[in-house]
């Protein structure tokens, strides 16, 4: 027997479309993102993958994506659990900055270190600044970061994985996780045992469900890397994410 996990990055957001570093800034989906989310739900239906429970971040692009996808799949009624631990990586002082301008200002090496290195976080965000979440009530009392590299994302996502997602999987539920490019990358790194160099080259497309069948003993993927429910579309979308800023 295997357990079924579906990882779904939110559809394109307004800031994805504008090429801005987003992180914890709570921006909505673009029109294209709304369509991507609905299509994600149809892909699940077509594949016969019907979630029994959904876990989302606290950001509206993931929440709306889950709602739209589940509505399209006629699974809008399933239980939902949310946590900041599934949020996008906190992009520190880069939040709100244009990716192309940042690349031009700091050069390819620094830009890619900030975007994709495993453990070099961007500079910390200034508390009280426009794109800081330090006064946001949804995070009250939580140990929220001022910047994060992927390593810190994994550190805070893993306790949630163990405490909330694994029990749902072990109960035999088909689990949908609607989250973000980098929080999903951290889960993929963990599941597939990907090393710190290789994970730099792995990008997650918006709105295309990534299906994992997990071994019931080890909770490790039966097929490494899982399976995108639309592999062709995923290929093109992955390349677009990799090339952001150019
Ligand atoms: O801006 C962000 O929050 C993320 C995801 O959109 O960007 P990147 O892919 O550059 O890590």
**pLDDT value of residue 246:** 75
Residue 78 scores a pLDDT above 90: yes
What is the pLDDT, as a whole number, of residue 243? Answer: 86
Query: 220 among the known binding-site residues?
Result: no
Catalytic residue among 36, 88, 148, 180: 88
Q: How far is the CA of 243 from the centre of ligand 1 (A)?
A: 11
Top mutation candidate among 19, 89, 93, 120 for ligand 1, by most atoms within 8 Å of CB:
89
Domain 2-242 class, CATH top level: alpha beta
pLDDT in tens, 23-45: 999 999 999 999 999 999 999 99
Residue 215, both tokens: 């071994």
Domain ranges for the chain, please list them.
2-242
> Helices (DSSP H) in the chain: which residue ranges?
14-17, 31-47, 60-72, 99-116, 150-160, 166-170, 181-192, 231-242
String of DSSP letters for 141-158: TS---S---HHHHHHHHH
Q: Is pLDDT above 80 for 234?
A: yes
Is residue 88 annotated as part of the catalytic site, yes or no?
Answer: yes
Whether residue 10 lies in the annotated active site: yes
Residue nearest to atom 5 of ligand 1 (CA): 181
Question: Mean pLDDT of all residues in the chain?
Answer: 97
Whose CA is closest to 8, among 79, 69, 88, 81?
69
55 is in an annotated binding site: no
C-alpha dihedral (190, 192, 194, 198), degrees to nearest 10 = -120
- Measured from the Cβ of residue 146, the count of other Cβ atoms closer than 10 Å reads 17
Report residues whose beta carbon is within 6 angstroms of any ligand 1 atom.
16, 21-23, 88, 91, 115, 181-182, 241, 244
Q: What is the pLDDT of residues 183-232, one digit of tens each?
A: 999 999 999 999 999 999 999 999 999 999 999 999 999 999 999 999 99
């Amino acid at each position: 027997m295997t357990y079924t996990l579906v990882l779904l990055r939110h559809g394109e957001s307004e800031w994805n479309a504008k090429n801005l570093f987003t992180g914890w800034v709570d921006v909505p989906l673009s029109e294209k993102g709304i369509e991507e989310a609905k299509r994600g739900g149809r892909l699940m239906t077509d594949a016969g993958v019907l979630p029994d429970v959904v876990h989302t971040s606290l950001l509206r692009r993931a929440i709306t994506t889950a709602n739209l996808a589940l509505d399209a799949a006629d699974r809008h009624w399933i239980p939902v659990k949310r946590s900041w631990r599934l949020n996008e990586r906190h992009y520190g002082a880069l939040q709100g900055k244009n990716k192309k301008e940042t690349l031009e200002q700091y050069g390819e090496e620094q830009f890619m270190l900030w975007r994709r290195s495993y453990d070099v976080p961007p500079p910390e965000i200034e508390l009280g600044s426009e794109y800081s979440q330090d006064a946001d009530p949804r995070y009250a009392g939580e140990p929220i970061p001022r910047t994060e590299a992927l390593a810190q994302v994994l550190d805070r996502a893993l306790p949630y994985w163990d405490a909330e997602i694994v029990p749902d999987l072990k109960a035999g539920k088909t689990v949908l996780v609607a989250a973000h490019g980098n929080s999903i990358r951290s889960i993929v790194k963990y599941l597939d045992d990907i090393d710190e160099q290789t994970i730099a080259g792995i990008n997650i497309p918006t709105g295309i469900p990534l299906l994992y069948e997990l071994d019931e003993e080890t909770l490790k993927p039966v097929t490494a890397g899982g399976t995108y429910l639309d592999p062709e579309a995923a290929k093109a979308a992955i390349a677009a994410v990799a090339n952001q800023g150019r």
